[in-house]
Structure 1
């Protein structure tokens, strides 16, 4: 697998080596030893999550606070998403900056998102299956987020707001400035 740093500190794109033949394909989706050797980051995943969504569904921007912060390794099993992460670590050289990448079931790229990041994704194809590994358990009391259309972050989701399908909970998330400025 090839691991490439993104413009955000400690955030990486993972591109697996895909082996294809007349039977189909095979790839190693994660190798802890290789990941640690290439990034210097030790991560132990303890929880896997999966969602299925229709085109236009936007989930996020979510994060867990304090002792329940989570690093994530995200990927698409079926379909396509625009994946977005935001560095919310005060003191980080990339604090307040975001990064986006298209993840799909063709290239099988993954995104490693460290603790201290908000994360969200926009579904670009119907019946998309999105999965992610977490290095910490979910805790509802530590759940938080930032509104998807925050003007300070100025994220280009590539789709008009009128076409987005967003939960009521996500529509009422706070602004970045109210949390961090």
Structure 2
């Protein structure tokens, strides 16, 4: 199921962060609305970048909210692409953490840092169609940098690789029915 067919509860994404802030404004920056990457990704997909930035700006004066500043940097730097396709959020977070070797030494809340680093350690996709390989083939292995679900009619996934300098588009419905 792609994001076009998901019936988002838009009101939930608008109101829950603000209700959380008004209930406990001192600990809002530790709430799942600003620490849970899956919530943030869903919010970006549903409402766009500006709505997330509004949530983040509420607690911008809190000195313990370095993780919120980092998220705002990631989202602001990639504003156009995330507004177009919020599903790219995970790729941008991964790229930020991998490109900043000093991320582990930053004064980000330890529980937030642990969740994000655990997320980054998830294996990348390694996709190669089985019917294109033979026993004698030497397979060049590299990972894809970004995997995107394309929001269009049908179920397509686009894979982008800087190392292999290629873009692959997969028709999931067609390829899943093929026998290998």
Query: TM-score normalised to the size of structure 1?
Result: 0.25
Query: TM-score normalised to the size of structure 2?
Result: 0.26
Structure number with the higher strand fraction is: 1
Structure number with the higher helix fraction is: 2
